[in-house]
Structure 1
Amino acid sequence: MDLEEQQTLPHSPFAQPIRCIVKLGGAAITCKNELEMINDEILHKVAEQLRQAMISSSQKPPGMDWSKRHGASEICCNPDEFKDHSVIDCSPFIVVHGAEGIPSIGMSPFSCGWFTKEKHISSGDLSSVAKAIESGFTPVLHGDAVFDDIQGCSILSGDVIISHLAAYSKPKYVVFMTDVYGVYDRPPTEPDAMLLKEIAVAEDGSWSVINPKLQNSVELTVAAHDTTGGMETKISEAAMIAKLGIDVYIVKAATSHSLRALSGVLRSGIPNDWLGTVVRSSR
C-alpha cells in the first residue's frame, strides 16, 4: 500500500488495539476435491484453538454456539454471560475465512463492502467491524465477488481484505492458516520441497528468504481451481502487512504449530521446532 493509496483511505474507527487477524484458508477448512464440503474435523479443531488463544486460560470462556445446527449442541449459549464484559479477559481478534462458496460458514452479518478496482474499503464497513469488537464479538468476514470498474466483476480474496484491515487496525500479528506447513521453495508435493522458515520484506515491498539459505529461486504455483492467486497472493499480501511492522505467520491449520502462532508466543522468537513461515520486516 503506497503513500498515495493510504491518503485516500478513510480514518480508522478502531478505538482499541487488535491482537490478531486470522485467515482460515479455504484449502484448510474445506475438502477441495468435493463440491461445497466442509472439513468438519479441521474446522472444529481450529475453532477450539481460536477460543483458547482469544480467552485467558484462567477464565471460564462463555458459550458461543451460533451454528444453527439441528439437534442439541454440546456448547450452550447463555446471554447472561455477556452482560459483564469485565469478567472475561478476551483479546480482540478478527477472523477471515476463505470458503466463500459455502454459505453455511458465512457466520458474519458484515459484508466485505463496496470495493473498486483499487479495493478501497468504505468507512461504514470498518465501523461495523469496530463496533462488533467493542461489543465483545469477533467479526467473521470472507472474500466474495465484487464490482470492478474495469472487469465489471472480480474476485476479492480474503487475503486482500486482511492486508487492508491490518493497515487500519494495526494488529500485533497476523496468522494465515493453510493446508500445508507454510511456504515452500517449490510445490510441497515434490519430494525435495523445502520449507521456508523466514522471509524478510524490504521497505520497497520486495522480499527475500532469510532461513534457510537457498541455492535456487522459489517456484510459486497456483492451483487451477484457486481463483484468488494461491500462495503467491498470500506472500504478496503478507509482505504488504510486514512492511507495516506486523509479523505474519503462515502455518498449517489445526496443529500445535498453529496454536503457538495464534497464542502470540512466537513474537518473542521463532523456536527451531516450530513448523511454519514467518514473514516480517527486514527493519
Structure 2
Amino acid sequence: MPLLTLAPAITRATTFAGSLDRLPELLDELTRRGAPKQEGFAGSTAATAEKPMDQQRHLNPASSAPAAPVKPLHCIVKLGGAAITCKNEFETINEENLNIVSSQLRQAMILGPCHGVDWSRRPGSSEIPTVVDDLDDQLDLDSKKFIVVHGAGSFGHFQASKSGVHKGGLSRPLVKSGFVATRISVTSLNLEIVRALAKEGIPSVGLSPFSCGWSTCERNIAMADTTTVGDAIDAGFVPVLHGDAVLDSLQGCTILSGDVIIRHLAEKLRPTYVVFLTDVFGVYDRPPTEPGATLLKEIAVREDGSWSVLKPELQDMSRQVEITVAAHDTTGGMVTKISEAAMIAKLGIDVYIVKAATNHSERALKGLLKEGVPDDWLGTIIRLAK
C-alpha cells in the first residue's frame, strides 16, 4: 500500500513529529475509526453529537406560505490556507490567487450575468467596487448551491501557536489573550474572502463556528448545529466558514480546523462533490519538491477504510513519507488531512484535491470530472471503490 502525502510548498519546515514507519496502519485506522483529536486549524476530526438534519431543519410554524423547492447542495469547497495566503508572511493574502479563485467560483456557481455585491470601501482604498445605482433589480440569478470553507494560512496560526490556544487552559491570561487574538486574525481573513467573493457577484456571508455555537469536548466536536448554514443556503446565500478558536467543555478552548468543518458539513448536508484547493497539484507519494515525486491521480477508498491507488500504478509500494509543517503551524498535518478526504469519500462523495487558481481547479469546481478524468487533468480524485 503506498503512502500518501499532501505537502504544501514550505520554506521553513520541520519534520512531522510522529512514527513514519507506522503511517500505513495509522492511515487505515484513521479512516476506519475517525481522525484523532484536533491539534490545529488544518488537522482534526471528530465524533459528533448532533441530531439529523431532518430533525433540525424546519419551517417557521408562524408562516403559512408553502416552502419553496430546495435545490440539493452542489459542492463544498475548501480554500487551503497555503493557497490563498502567503503562508510564511505574517497575515498576508495571496491577492492574485484569491481573485482567480473567486472568479472561478463565480463561473461554477452562477449561470448567466451577475453584478458585484460589495458596496463598501475597503480600508485604505478610495474605491467602492459596486455602484448601487447601476444594479439591475430584476436580474434573476440562476445559481448552484455552494459552501466555502477556508483555512487560516498565515492568519491565526502564529497567535494560536504562541499562546497555546489549541492546548486549552482559558484560565491563563496568555491563552485567553491568544484566543481573542486568534479570532481577530481569522475573522479578518474571513471578511477579506467574503469581500473578494462579493466583488465577483457571489452573495456570500461569513459564518464563524464560534458565533454559531460550535464547540468541542476534549477537542472532539460536541455541538455543531448546521441549521444556520442550511438556512443561509436556502435563502440564496453562500456561507463562508473558517477554522476558528472555540470553547471546549473539558480543556476550556481549542482550535476547530477547517478540515474538520468540511467533513462535518459533508456528512450532514451531502454535497454532490467536494473540492480541496491547495498550493500543490494534489496528493503525492512523497513531498512534491523531491525528485521523482509521483502525483497520485485516483485513490479508491473501500467501505472498511482501506484504500488503494488506481492511477498511476506504483512500482515501489513501500517508500517512506517525509511530512513537514511550518514551524508556526498548529496543525500537525497531512496524515489527518488525507484521512478527512478519505472519510468524505466513504460517504459516496467524490473528493477532488487540486492546485488553486489553475485550469485544473476550474474544471474541478465546475464538476466536469464526474463522468471521467481527462489525461491532461492534474489533481487527485479520492472516491468510494466500486
Of 21, 26, 37 in structure 1, the residue corresponding to residue 81 of structure 2 is 26
TM-score normalised to structure 1 length: 0.88
Residues 86 and 92 in structure 2, CA contact (< 8 A), matched pair in contact too: yes
Same amino acid, percent of matched pairs? 57
> Which amino acid in 1 is paired with 2:268?
Y
Distance 1:250 1:220, change over 3 A: farther
> Which amino acid in 2 is paired with 1:111?
S
- TM-superposed CA distance for 1:42, in Å, is 0.5
- TM-superposed CA distance for 1:226, in Å, is 3.0
> Which amino acid in 1 is paired with 2:145?
P
Distance 1:10 1:255, change over 3 A: same
Instruction: Provide the C-alpha distance between the structure 2 equivalents of 1:105 and 1:77, rounded to a whole number of angstroms.
Output: 25
Residues 59-68 or 31-40, more deviating: 59-68
| 1:240 to 2:324 alignment | no
- Superimposed CA distance per residue, residues 14-48 of structure 1 (whole angstroms, 9 cap, x where no aligned partner): 95411000000000000112100000011011000
TM-score normalised to structure 2 length: 0.66
Of 248, 253, 265 in structure 1, the residue corresponding to residue 356 of structure 2 is 253
Of 88, 101, 106 in structure 1, the residue corresponding to residue 190 of structure 2 is 106
Q: State the Cα RMSD in Å.
A: 2.7
> Which amino acid in 2 is paired with 1:110?
L
Q: Helix, strand or coil: the match of 2:220? A: coil
Residues 93-102 or 253-262, more deviating: 93-102
Q: Helix, strand or coil: the match of 2:238? A: coil
Where does structure 1 differ by over 4 angstroms across 4 or more consecutive aligned residues? Answer: 1-7, 74-81
Equivalences for residues 186-225 of structure 1 within 5 A? 186-214=286-314, 215-217=316-318, 219=321, 221-224=323-326, 225=328
Instruction: Provide the C-alpha distance between the structure 1 equivalents of 2:79 and 2:237, rounded to a whole number of angstroms.
Output: 18
Gaps of 5+ in 1: none
- TM-superposed CA distance for 1:150, in Å, is 4.7
Instruction: Provide the C-alpha distance between the structure 2 equivalents of 1:235 and 1:66, rounded to a whole number of angstroms.
Output: 39
Q: 1:89 corresponds to which residue?
A: 142
- TM-superposed CA distance for 1:130, in Å, is 1.1
Q: 2:108 corresponds to which residue?
A: 53
Q: Helix, strand or coil: the match of 1:119? A: strand
Distance 1:277 1:149, change over 3 A: same
Instruction: Provide the C-alpha distance between the structure 2 equivalents of 1:16 and 1:168, rounded to a whole number of angstroms.
Output: 15
Instruction: Provide the C-alpha distance between the structure 1 equivalents of 2:322 and 2:292, rounded to a whole number of angstroms.
Output: 15
Q: 2:258 corresponds to which residue?
A: 158
Instruction: Provide the C-alpha distance between the structure 2 equivalents of 1:277 and 1:7, rounded to a whole number of angstroms.
Output: 28
Q: 1:146 corresponds to which residue?
A: 246
Q: 2:330 corresponds to which residue?
A: 227
Instruction: Provide the C-alpha distance between the structure 2 equivalents of 1:118 and 1:79, rounded to a whole number of angstroms.
Output: 48
Residues 272-281 or 112-121, more deviating: 112-121
Q: 1:118 corresponds to which residue?
A: 220
Q: 1:129 corresponds to which residue?
A: 229
Q: 2:280 corresponds to which residue?
A: 180
Q: Helix, strand or coil: the match of 1:266? A: coil
Instruction: Provide the C-alpha distance between the structure 1 equivalents of 2:134 and 2:208, rounded to a whole number of angstroms.
Output: 25
Distance 1:192 1:16, change over 3 A: same
Instruction: Provide the C-alpha distance between the structure 2 equivalents of 1:183 and 1:7, rounded to a whole number of angstroms.
Output: 28
- Superimposed CA distance per residue, residues 182-228 of structure 1 (whole angstroms, 9 cap, x where no aligned partner): 01111111111111101111112232222112223462614133323
Distance 1:104 1:274, change over 3 A: same
Residues 183 and 231 in structure 1, CA contact (< 8 A), matched pair in contact too: no
Distance 1:26 1:245, change over 3 A: same
Residues 260 and 266 in structure 1, CA contact (< 8 A), matched pair in contact too: yes
- Structure with larger RCO (C-alpha < 8 A, sep 6+): 2
Gaps of 5+ in 2: 1-30, 35-45, 59-69, 157-184, 192-204
Residues 74 and 271 in structure 2, CA contact (< 8 A), matched pair in contact too: yes
- TM-superposed CA distance for 1:84, in Å, is 6.2
Instruction: Provide the C-alpha distance between the structure 1 equivalents of 2:367 and 2:323, rounded to a whole number of angstroms.
Output: 29
Residues 61-70 or 267-276, more deviating: 61-70
Distance 1:7 1:250, change over 3 A: closer
The structure whose Rg is larger is 2
| 1:62 to 2:112 alignment | no
